[in-house]
Amino acid sequence: MKYRTAEDIESLLLDEQETIVNKIDPEKIDVYLFLHDLFKKTDVTTNRVFQFAFRHFYKLDNPSLTQEFQDRYFEIMEQQRNDKHSSIVNVVTELYEIKNHKGNPTMQFPLATAMLHTLNPNFPTYDSDVAKAFDFSSTYHLNGFYKKMKRYVDQYQHTFDTYKILMERESLAPMFDHFETRFPRNGLSKVKKMDLMVAELGKQLS
């Protein structure tokens, strides 16, 4: 599959660099930091405040998903806390077993990346805005778990590899500096800053 390359994303970011950073919602960063700070010192299977904020922030409160799915999601997150080799495939597979309100299994890949990122902020997230920025193709037309999983993993690996390249590009240093000026002492990983900028790019491309 042909996705936007590091050079493509770099060019698009540079075209709108001030606009992109200025449009990032400060509230999004505040909630994100609240969640990551609380995650470090709580059992997420019992902390209702964490669950409430996380559900709304990452759209885990999707009406199609059951309470069983949400409960299992936080159980897996807690189980994975000390696993230094957390696998996105394993997480997606476990969640796939829990049927939605219509009785069908669903592949919740973006939610799995949100969990992985919470466990390790050096991994990117994946959502519709990021997918739009990279011009990722949909998986809806693919039949079967493994075909969908392969497409998602390919896209996620592409995101990871592209971020790694972009974070070293001198051309984007002023953009990161602008981010620090607008959000001083934010404590975000560089991957998360990249995530936020690419997601904002995706919104502008929509």
Domain boundaries, the chain: 6-205
CA separation for the pair 188, 101 (Å, rounded): 36
The predicted model scores a pTM of 0.92
pLDDT in the model for residue 54: 98
CA separation for the pair 91, 53 (Å, rounded): 21
pLDDT at 138 over 90: no
pLDDT at 84 over 80: no
Q: 119: helix, coil or strand?
A: helix
Q: Which residues contact 43 (CB under 8 A, 6 or more apart)?
A: 78
Region 166-186 average pLDDT = 96
pLDDT at 52 over 90: yes
pLDDT at 19 over 70: yes
pLDDT in the model for residue 192: 97
Region 62-87 average pLDDT = 90
Would you give the DSSP letter of residue 112?
Answer: H
CA separation for the pair 14, 133 (Å, rounded): 13
Q: Are 88 and 156 in contact (CB under 8 A)?
A: yes
pLDDT at 188 over 70: yes
Beta bridge partners of 105: 99
Region 138-158 average pLDDT = 88
Which of 91-95, 103-107, 119-123, 165-169 is the least confident region? 103-107
CA 170 to chain centre: 25
pLDDT at 1 over 70: no
pLDDT at 141 over 80: no
Q: Are 107 and 148 in contact (CB under 8 A)?
A: yes
Q: Which residue has the tokens 């051309």?
A: 171
Region 12-29 average pLDDT = 94
To the nearest whole number, what is the mean pLDDT of the chain? 93
Region 77-104 average pLDDT = 88
Query: Which long-range CB contacts under 8 A does 44-48 form with residues at least 24 apart?
Result: 44/74, 44/77, 44/78, 45/71, 45/74, 45/75, 45/78
pLDDT in the model for residue 57: 96
